[in-house]
């Protein structure tokens, strides 16, 4: 086998720098051999792949776990507890832990903001629909009585 140290040192450097080049190359070669030994000794295990069902099961178990008091957690108010149940994050009030993580509170605020927008949009639509029906009925009554729109 060809000695890499002599080839590289003879081509790139003169004989003056040869000891420095040999020292540098010898350390890199020894480091490479140590790394190769470590990688050859390492035993790789086949990774355990999660199926969709097992992933969802693990996520549901850990998603809504209560957090400790000192870890930026928040104690929900009674209104927030009602909203946690109403938005479907928890099934009932007994299931809600004493302290809730900030991520769950953010999810709660996003969900009930959307819910309130939908509910109030439906209420406003119903109010305008009823008022439109009332206006149509009022116009029909005036036509029957013979009111003229220009005279008013």
* C-alpha Rg value of the chain to the nearest Å: 38
Give the containing element (helix H, strand E) for 19.
helix 18-41
**Token reading at 134:** 């009332």
* Cα four-point dihedral sign 64, 69, 73, 79: positive
Q: What is the DSSP letter of 51?
A: P
pLDDT of residue 67: 58
Q: What is the mean pLDDT of each run of 10 residues along the chain (152 residues)?
A: 51 53 51 58 64 78 59 85 90 88 89 93 98 95 79 55
pLDDT of residue 18: 54
pLDDT of residue 37: 58
HEC sequence for 119-140: HHHHHHHHHHHHHHHHHHHHHH
- Backbone torsions φ then ψ of 35, nearest 5 degrees: -65, -40
Reported pTM = 0.45
- Backbone torsions φ then ψ of 141, nearest 5 degrees: -65, -45
pLDDT of residue 64: 54
CB-based contacts of 96, cutoff 8 Å, min separation 6: 76, 81, 84, 85, 90
């Amino acid at each position: 086998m060809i000695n890499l140290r002599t080839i590289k040192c003879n081509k790139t450097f003169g004989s003056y720098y040869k000891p420095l080049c040999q020292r540098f190359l010898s350390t890199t070669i020894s480091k490479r051999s140590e790394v190769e030994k470590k990688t050859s000794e390492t035993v790789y295990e086949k990774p355990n792949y999660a199926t969709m069902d097992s992933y969802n099961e693990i996520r549901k178990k850990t998603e809504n776990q209560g957090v400790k008091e000192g870890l930026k957690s928040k104690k929900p108010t009674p209104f927030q507890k009602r909203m946690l149940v109403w938005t479907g994050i928890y099934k009932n009030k007994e299931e809600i832990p004493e302290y809730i993580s900030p991520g769950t509170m953010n999810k709660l605020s996003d969900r009930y903001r959307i819910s309130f927008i939908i509910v109030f949009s439906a209420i406003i639509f119903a109010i305008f629909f009823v008022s439109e029906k009332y206006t149509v009925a009022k116009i029909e009554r005036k036509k029957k009585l013979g009111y003229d729109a220009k005279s008013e």
